[in-house]
A and B are shown apart, each in its own frame.
Chain A
Amino acid sequence: MNNSFLKIDNLSKNYGETPALSDISLSLHTEELLVILGPTGAGKTTLLRIIAGLEAADTGRITIDGTDITHQLPAERDIALVFQNFSLYPNKTVRQNLAFPLQAPGRNLSKTEIANRISHTADLLRITPLLDRPATHLSGGEMQRVAIGRAIVRQPQLFLLDEPLTNLDAKLREVLRVELIRLQRDLRTPMIYVTHDRVEALSMGDRIAVLSEGKILQIGTPEEIYQQPNSPIVARQLGYPPINTIDVHKQQNQWFTASNQAIMTADRNAPSNATLGIRAEDISPQGGEIPAIIEVIEDLGASTILLANWAGQSIQISISGEQQWHVGDEIYPSIDLDRVLVWEKKQPQMNTDEHR
């Protein structure tokens, strides 16, 4: 897995005084699907647009297969980008939309070759019956298939997808997500997939890069990011309900909350000030010592989420199956201590953004 295809070194971009991206470095292996995950405004789209060549970075270097493409025009890069809003050519049919990139100067494709590629792509995406429809007379899902088709018909060396499923309804999103995974496996073309959706990130990515406020916080496999997030912000990006985070300090091998209540034993080597991360599924409602009152019950069908007030903290507990709890019930949450994440807290004030 170490043959890197795309390499980005120390890339930064400012809009006026506002930094959009700072010191981004990452690499993409051949045939890899890298998900860039982050909340709205993290700089995901900017990063993608810089890779595509639609915007220029202030500093930094982008190479593909060792070739420096930092200053190349979009057309020179042979990178396909699928836009969030599909961006089909409205005055053309589906067929003409697919043909458009193939008719570019310098491609010199014969009419038969173009027709073959279009019909192959249309088969792959199951849009053959739509080929002669105007691009404006399509449903959202069909438009997105055509947009993806316009990207793959070119057989580019790299795919960039900018939240391609965000504008679709939930059911269609599921279907297309699975299709996209299959497509990427079949085509074996490296892909960078930008999303703010934790499910897409976990299910699609070979690796995930978590982006927040223009910085890459962590890069790793979905398992690594989920099991060993290196900061509370990364931890909050993945999993539902969002991870419980509690600011604590250590006294006599006990973790104390801000309101000076001891909640659990601390490791001998643990830092004196820390943020604890506890996944909702690592708490069970009974067996602990400190009482909590259930405030909200959220029934998700297969599981139920209890929002409870525990030791002066709001915590979420995920329990599976049918449970006979009621709002106002007293419970005694017990925490799986082996699975508690501990992040050393350097500054007294933590970042408290609330992305779910």
Chain B
Amino acid sequence: MRVKDGVLKYGFVGPALIFLIAFNIFPLFYNIYLSFTDAELSGGVTQLIGGRNYGVIFDDTRYGTALRTTGLFVVLAVATELILGFALALALQKPFWGKPAITTILLVPMMLSPAVMGLYWNFILNGHYGVVNQALSVFRLFQPQWLTDPDLKLFSILMIDIWMWTPFMMLIALAGLNAIPNHLYEAAAIDRASRWTVFRRITLPLCSPLLFLAILLRTTDALKQFDLVMAVTGPNDRATQTLSALLYQVMFRGYKIGLGSSYSIVILLIVIALATIFIRYIASIQAKQGRETA
């Protein structure tokens, strides 16, 4: 039996399309609808209440704190991961004995589940029996309360995130470094460029589109930071409550579906705005450089 091309086309695309509509597009629009209602998980009649939820968000002091916490977290995490990852990539650029093994080991943290790692670090950093403080006690050093000191909690989560995601930055930076043709370095050597000049005027600019891509991916991901917070301190700790944790708290602990939905829309808008800025920027520097190397 012959099947018409048109039918075949929809036959192939159909399943994916249905999946996309069912799990992405419908939830998004339903979420937008819910954000304008007073829906609660405990039941009762759901009513449209206009933009009142959004008003509540901006009056909520927890929202301001969570926004600050998230912002601080994103900036510190991504910046540190970028610098460390790029430094590691530079160190791994030239071949040396044991390089493949070292590279593989460095990539391990990235491959583990954040929730599981959060729990592990919970043990490692525990103030009483954690291995870190045990080690510090051997040397009779001060033992910080990593997970309970309000000034340290966020820092601890930050450390775990950096430990997990620096390898990712390293991987992408390595790809960027490897894409720079060796003859450019040779041309620079003949042109008497210093190592710093070579780094600043060849390595960095040629790597930058990929680095910005990595920053984009890490930023959008870090903005949604939830699993580590959940595993290390729980979602309702003022010192570590990120936007996602606050959303979780409102929606699944307070059962306020309508209000939670409006929180998620706000987070989504922030992510989209930042992503758009980044993508435009990457596109502009790529256009300036041209796609291929001369």
Interface status of B104 (Cβ within 8 A of chain A)? no
A52 to B289, CA, bound (A): 28
Contacts of A137 in B (CB 8 A): 290
Q: Is A39 an interface residue (CB 8 A)?
A: no
Closest-by-CB residue of B relative to A77 is B190
Q: Tell me whether B205 and A91 are in contact (CB under 8 A).
A: yes
Interface string of B181-206 (1 = CB under 8 A from A): 10110111111111001000110011
Of chain A, the residue at the smallest CB distance from B292 is A136
Contacts A90-B292, A100-B201 given; does A73 touch B194 at CB 8 Å:
no
Flag if A104 contacts B197 (CB, 8 Å).
yes
Interface size on A, residues (CB 8 A): 33
Is the pair B294, A136 in contact by a Cβ cutoff of 8 Å? yes
Chain A nearest CB: distance from B221 CB in Å?
28
Would you call B183 and A104 a contact (CB within 8 A)? no
> Are A91 and B289 in contact, with the CB atoms below 8 A?
yes
B292 touches A101 (CB 8 A): no
The answer to whether A85 touches B183, judged by C-beta atoms less than 8 angstroms apart, is: yes
Verify if A154 is at the interface (C-beta below 8 Å from B): yes
Q: How far is the CA of A12 from the CA of B257 in the complex (A)?
A: 79
* Cβ-defined partner of A101 (8 Å) among B191, B202, B288, B289: B191
Tell whether A74 pairs with B289 under 8 Å between CB atoms, given A89-B184, A89-B202, A90-B294: no
For B194, the chain A residues whose CB sits under 8 A away are 104-105
Q: Within 8 Å CB of A83, what residues of B?
A: 183, 186-187
From 192 to 244 in chain B, residues with beta carbon under 8 angstroms from any chain A beta carbon are 192-194, 197, 201-202, 205-206
Q: Please give, as numbers and ranges, the residues of chain A lying within 8 Å of B292 by CB-CB distance.
A: 90, 136
Min CB–CB distance B206 → chain A (angstroms): 6
Q: Known contacts A134-B289, A136-B294: does B193 contact A87 (CB below 8 Å)?
A: no
Within the complex, the shortest CB–CB distance from B289 to chain A, in Å, comes to: 5
Cα A86 to Cα B181 in complex, Å, equals 12
Cβ of A340 < 8 Å from any Cβ of B? Answer: no
List A contacts of B183 (CB < 8 A).
Answer: 83, 85, 87
Which residues of B approach A to under 8 Å, CB–CB? 181, 183-184, 186-194, 197, 201-202, 205-206, 288-294
Could you show 19 A-B contacts with beta carbons less than 8 Å apart?
A81-B186, A81-B187, A83-B183, A87-B181, A90-B290, A91-B206, A91-B289, A100-B191, A100-B193, A103-B197, A105-B192, A106-B192, A107-B192, A134-B288, A134-B289, A134-B290, A136-B290, A136-B292, A150-B191
Closest 9 CB pairs of A and B: A136-B290, A104-B192, A101-B191, A88-B294, A75-B192, A90-B293, A91-B205, A74-B189, A87-B187
